[in-house]
Amino acid sequence: MIYAKRRKRMSTQEHNAPIDLESGKYVKIWQGPQHPGITGNMALELVLNGDEVVDCKTHVGYLHRGFEKLMERRTFIQNFPIVCRIAVPEPTFNEYLYAAAVEELAGIESPQRAQWLRTLNLELMRLASYLMWLGGIGASFGQATIYQWTVTHRDYVLDLFEEMTGARVYHMYIVPGGVRAGLPEGFEDRARAVLDGVERLLNEIEKVLFKNVVFKARAKGLGIISKEMVDPYGIVGPNARAAGFTRDLRRDEPYLVYDQLDFDVVTGTESDAYARAKVRHQEMREGIRMMRQILEQMPTDGPFQAKMPNVLHWEVPAGETYVKAECTRGEYGYYLVTDGSQYLRRVHVRGPSYTHAIAVMEKLAVGTNIADIAGLMVSLHTYPPEIER
């Protein structure tokens, strides 16, 4: 097709020319906090020269709920309903990291079966989150059909969560010392059926979205993250992998039972929006492969929870720790400080959205077309609730 060859976009903006808003040459436009092209509540302050974005400032602060401070005033077990609300579409990673950090400080070892169940839970969450994201990238480029398809299948995954944990969105399933429950009877077969359905959906999306001329024309060459940018800007996860870095904590520093699973780390080379979408699309297949192995190899009996002290009077010894895991957007970390009391001394949550949505977005947005801002934003996969906590 005619757009297969992409030329370097001509820029109407003189190099490094100061932006004088009074000159009448520029239009300042706010995209957000309420805008169909923004995920969650944050705002982009764009300065336009015609259709070209010449300056971009991100504004966050619409969703700050002060979770880190709240957690200092609650006992260790009371924090569970809070941590899962930090990143709304994927609460499980927060639950796991908080539980793992507390376990490390308290010196509790969770049983083997619990570790398998946790891995299954995390991978299901990854699948659900990616399904929503894949729909989002379609919708942000004006293809709403993909969104309907993926949200349908995400709902099937949520059904699995409901069976497994009793809740659809905020599960509170992973607790210090293990998990809250084992699997219901016949869960494995139903899970396999859902995974097969998702796999068929992925094949269809490959045809409808990734081979579509318009999507290729728009997403290829959009928002290229150069290799030099990756480390200074703190880019992690699929965004870094699309730039050619084979970084994946599941393989580099295996936690839970990831060292017993066979999976590939998916990378790309182009590092544009298309490559990022492709990497995530492929990672969903890897996730499905992993979950099939988990369902196959998981021990079906044995304890799923370690012996715990009375959680109402639980005093965790003084210490500090940083626990990290690979969430859908990259490295996700919890830094916990305890002082030997029933309460946490300090919590810090390190989420990848913070760097991706602010510094990286401000850098990549300059020089793109206003039409591509929504697609660029979604292609970085960020969640405003996780930026501000």
Residues forming contacts to other proteins in the complex (CB under 8 A) are: 2-3, 27, 29, 35-37, 51, 138-145, 148-149, 152, 208-209, 212, 214-215, 217-218, 369-375
Q: What is the token pair recorded at 172?
A: 């509170």
What are residue 29's phi and psi, to 5 degrees? -140, 140
For other proteins, the closer of residues 112 and 212 by Cβ is 212
Residue 78: count of CB within 10 angstroms of its CB: 15
Comparing CB distances to other proteins, the nearer of 45 and 188 is: 45
Q: How far is the CB of 210 from other proteins (least distance, A)?
A: 11
Closest separation between CB of residue 332 and other proteins, Å?
Answer: 27
Q: How many CA atoms lie within 13 A of 108 on its CB side?
A: 23
Q: Which is nearer to other proteins, 140 or 282 (CB)?
A: 140
Question: Residue ranges of the alpha helices (H) in the chain?
Answer: 67-71, 80-83, 91-106, 112-140, 144-165, 187-205, 213-219, 227-230, 237-242, 249-252, 273-297, 352-355, 361-365, 373-379, 384-388
**Which two three-digit tokens encode residue 183?**
């699997």
Nearest distance, CB of residue 1 and other proteins, angstroms? 10
CB of 374 to other proteins, least distance (A): 4
* Residue 206 C-beta: closest distance to other proteins, Å: 14
Nearer Cβ to other proteins (193/214): 214
Least Cβ distance, residue 279 to other proteins (angstroms): 19
> What minimum distance in Å lies between the beta carbon of 142 and other proteins?
3
Report the residue number, 51 or 264, with the smaller CB distance to other proteins: 51
Cα atoms in the Cβ-side hemisphere of radius 13 Å centred on 282: 15
Query: CB 120 → other proteins: shortest distance, Å?
Result: 27
Inter-CA distances, 122 with 6, 138, 161, 327, Å: 39, 24, 11, 8
In whole angstroms, how close is the CB of 215 to other proteins at the nearest point?
5
* Pairwise CA distance, residues 211 & 201, whole Å: 15
Residue 29 vs 318, nearer CB to other proteins: 29
Nearer Cβ to other proteins, position 19 or 214?
214
Query: Which is closer to other proteins, CB of 91 or CB of 375?
Result: 375
Q: For other proteins, which is the closer residue by CB, 138 or 177?
A: 138
| Local structure of 262: helix, strand or coil | coil
Residue nearer to other proteins on the CB measure, 4 or 312: 4
Tokens 């009877």 belong to 185
Shortest distance, position 376 Cβ to other proteins, whole Å: 11
Contacts 24+ apart (CB under 8 A), 33-38: 33/59, 33/62, 36/374, 37/140, 37/373, 37/374, 37/377, 38/374, 38/377
For the chain, counts of helices (H) and of strands (E): 15, 8
Residues 326 and 379: beta-carbon distance below 8 Å:
no
**Rounded CA separation 279/273 (Å):** 10
The token pair at 388 is 């501000």
Reduced to 3 states (helix: H, G, I; strand: E, B; else coil), residue 321 is strand
